[in-house]
């Protein structure tokens, strides 16, 4: 399976990365090389094998239902490119 220029532009859009026409064209062979190479996994017989999600047996813990954090609004906002009135500010979303 090989990907074309349209697909690269679609992946870029899904990834929220703007790419120029030239960049997208340069990525077509690069991504095809990598994807062509990983396709070898298709030949492995995985009948009856469960997908692995955790490498070391562990279980998700529950913690006490208690407030352990918070009241740090200014710290949370400290690195925001734009913060106003105690909120993150973004370009207008609704006309």
- Name which position in 4, 5, 25, 33 contacts another protein (CB under 8 A): 33
Question: Are 77 and 88 in contact, with CB atoms under 8 Å apart?
Answer: yes
88 in contact with another protein (CB under 8 A): yes
| E strand intervals along the chain | 83-84, 87-88
Count of Cβ atoms closer than 10 Å to residue 31 Cβ: 15
Positions touching another protein (CB under 8 A) are 3, 7-8, 11-19, 27, 30-31, 33-35, 37-38, 40-42, 44, 46, 49-56, 58, 60-61, 63, 72, 75-76, 78-82, 88, 90-93
């Amino acid at each position: 399976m090989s990907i074309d220029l349209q697909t690269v532009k679609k992946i870029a859009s899904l990834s929220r990365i703007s790419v120029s026409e030239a960049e997208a064209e340069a990525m077509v062979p690069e991504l095809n090389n990598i994807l062509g190479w990983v396709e070898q996994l298709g030949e492995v017989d995985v009948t009856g094998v469960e997908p692995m999600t955790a490498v070391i047996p562990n279980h998700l813990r529950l913690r006490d239902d208690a407030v352990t954090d918070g009241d740090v609004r200014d710290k949370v906002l400290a690195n925001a490119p734009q913060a106003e009135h105690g909120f993150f500010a973004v370009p207008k979303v609704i006309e």
